């Protein structure tokens, strides 16, 4: 809570004091998953503490600095630049150790390659736009199908991917079933093309030595 809300509010306050724009990176998890796909005009209703804290940070940033952008990305994938992990790296680590990943067939997102997101954010930094914008991949997909695409790209055996439903797994907290994002606004104002999963995975893992410039 201190990081997501208090620190974000302070950064927004200090940026306003020097006349600078602030770009706050939020999340798709501010939505409850009941009425996808979500546009920037849809009302947030987070189900988790994480989603709630990110929504409160959005409000704090907007109140502290009128010259703001609230960027809401979907779940990110791709190799980290320095440290950290991502959805795709979690799967790759399991497969390298010949462990099975259980992936939901009934939980949907609009995943975005971290490098693609970084390009969009850098473009926004130079843009006159202010307000809320959704930045996501151009494809709605469940976690299982995404896993199959990644396994194919990495030449991994599909036997290490087990399809499951959300009801089959005991998880802490409530998870939304579908927080797919609409990206009509981003497509309208950005030159950066937001990739579908196949193109994004190719960009992320087409060259095994290639790395993103955004840690996830």
* Span 13-54, pLDDT tens digits: 999 999 999 999 999 999 999 999 999 999 999 999 999 999
Cα distance between residue 78 and residue 84, in whole Å? 11
Asked if 180 contacts 137 with a C-beta cutoff of 8 angstroms, the reply is no
pLDDT over threshold 70, residue 129: yes
Catalogue all structural domains in the chain, each as residue range(s) with its CATH number. Answer: 2-205 (3.40.50.720)
Asked if 61 contacts 16 with a C-beta cutoff of 8 angstroms, the reply is no
pLDDT at 202: 96
| pLDDT single digits (tens) 43-91 | 999 999 999 999 999 999 999 999 999 999 999 999 876 556 788 988 8
| pTM score above 0.95 | no
Among the residue ranges 85-99, 133-147, 187-201, the one predicted with the least confidence is 85-99
Tokens representing 33 are 């998953």
pLDDT at 213: 35
Asked if 49 contacts 4 with a C-beta cutoff of 8 angstroms, the reply is no
Percent of the chain's residues with pLDDT above 90: 77
pLDDT at 93: 86
Query: Of the candidates 31, 32, 26, which has an alpha carbon nearest to the alpha carbon of residue 8?
Result: 26
Ramachandran assignment for 66, one of left (phi > 0), alpha (psi -120 to 50 degrees), beta (any other):
alpha
**What integer best gives the mean pLDDT of the chain?**
91
Pick 156 or 192 by higher pLDDT. 192
Q: How confident is the model at residue 171 (pLDDT cuts 50, 70, 90)?
A: confident
H/E element, 163: strand 161-164
Asked if 32 contacts 47 with a C-beta cutoff of 8 angstroms, the reply is yes
Cα distance between residue 198 and residue 149, in whole Å? 7
Pick 121 or 207 by higher pLDDT. 121
């Amino acid at each position: 809570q201190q990081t997501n809300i208090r620190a974000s509010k302070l950064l927004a306050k200090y940026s306003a004091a020097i006349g600078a724009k602030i770009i706050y990176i939020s999340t798709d998890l501010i939505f409850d998953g009941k009425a996808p796909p979500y546009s920037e005009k849809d009302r947030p209703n987070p189900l988790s503490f994480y989603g709630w804290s990110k929504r409160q940070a959005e409000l704090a940033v907007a109140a502290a600095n009128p010259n703001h952008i609230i960027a809401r990305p979907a779940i990110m994938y791709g190799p980290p630049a320095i440290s950290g992990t991502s959805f795709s790296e979690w799967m790759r680590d399991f497969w390298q150790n010949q462990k099975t990943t259980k992936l939901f067939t009934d939980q949907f997102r609009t995943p975005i390659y971290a490098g693609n997101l970084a390009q969009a954010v850098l473009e926004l930094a130079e843009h006159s736009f202010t307000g809320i914008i959704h930045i996501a991949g151009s494809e709605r997909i469940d976690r299982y199908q995404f896993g199959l695409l990644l396994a194919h790209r990495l030449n991994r055996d599909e036997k290490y991917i087990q399809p499951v439903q959300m009801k089959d797994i005991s998880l802490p907290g409530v998870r939304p079933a579908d927080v797919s994002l609409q990206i009509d606004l981003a497509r309208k104002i950005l030159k950066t093309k937001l990739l579908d999963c196949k193109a994004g995975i190719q960009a992320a893992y087409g060259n095994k030595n290639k790395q993103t410039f955004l840690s996830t």
